[in-house]
Amino acid sequence: MFLCVLLFSLVSSQDTQPNIIYILSDDLGHTDVGFTGGKIKTPVLDRMAGEGVRLTQQYVQQVCTPTRGALMSGRYPIHTGLQHDVIYPGEPWGLPLDEVIIPQILKEYNYSTHAVGKWHLGMHRYKFTPVQRGFDDFFGYYLGGQDYNTHVNGG
């Protein structure tokens, strides 16, 4: 399972806008967490789901790159060119740079933006990477199939 956690928080504590935590988890079944009736104990996620807003009517794509592109841009993958497959190592493409994405919009509202996990939206040029697309910082992998212990890309 690959996890991408997007954290958006306010720069000033005087603002009344909410903090936003958006969790996208590849290969997670609907009942693989406690708050949906699953047997796996997930007390922190359960508490967050109970105290926050749960988005329950979204659609995911067949693989992670189109899903992540849709999440970031708010557009169906067919409109971003990401509808077919994942981005493999060395491929010279990514989420188009003219697509305005979530962290860029939230910056206009004084949010700080952070991403943890898998990016998988392009990295063949630095301007396609998360910190160049609006995130203040990024901790994770640019591609999929990374081994968390060896840090070697397996596919």
Distance of alpha carbon 136 from alpha carbon 124, whole angstroms: 20
103-154 pLDDT, tens digit each: 999 999 999 999 998 999 999 999 999 999 999 999 989 988 777 778 777 6
Asked if pLDDT for residue 1 goes beyond 50, the answer is no
pTM for this entry: 0.83
- Active site residue ranges: 64, 120
